[in-house]
């Protein structure tokens, strides 16, 4: 019984049978989205602050394995870059073309 009444109430609010109630309902929904977005941004700020103080300590404690994995990743990226440069030569920016010489007439 309550489910039917809720559906009727939502239908009344969405189809604007009463303008004042519908405006209040949409203002409530807008406010909740604004508050939700603010808390989402606030959560990102908290995670950033935690990361600023945690990541240096983790790196200090595990410097060798992290450096090994970073070097491995750098080697793989360099290998992929070299392969792409060989397969698609017009994307290779490291080669320089000699300037054309002018013929004197």
The answer to pTM > 0.75 is: no
**Which of 34, 38, 14 minimizes the C-alpha distance to 24?**
14
- Domain residues for the domain of 51 are 2-88
What is the DSSP-derived secondary structure letter of residue 16? T
Mean pLDDT of all residues in 10-20: 74
Residue 96 lies in a domain: no
102 in any annotated domain: no
Are the beta carbons of 22 and 31 closer than 8 angstroms?
A: no
How large is the average pLDDT for residues 71-95?
A: 84
| Residue 103 maps to a domain | no
Compute the average pLDDT of residues 56-65.
Answer: 96
- Domain assignment present for residue 93? The answer is no
pLDDT at position 2 is 67
């Amino acid at each position: 019984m309550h489910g039917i009444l809720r559906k009727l109430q939502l239908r009344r609010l969405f189809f604007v049978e009463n303008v004042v109630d519908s405006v209040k309902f949409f203002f409530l929904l807008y406010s909740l989205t604004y508050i939700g977005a603010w808390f989402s941004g606030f959560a990102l700020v908290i995670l950033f602050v935690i990361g600023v103080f945690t990541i240096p300590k983790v790196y200090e404690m595990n410097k060798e394995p992290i450096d090994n994995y970073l070097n491995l990743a750098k080697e793989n990226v360099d290998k992929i870059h070299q392969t792409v440069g060989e397969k698609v030569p017009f994307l290779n920016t490291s080669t320089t073309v000699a300037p054309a010489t002018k013929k004197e007439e």
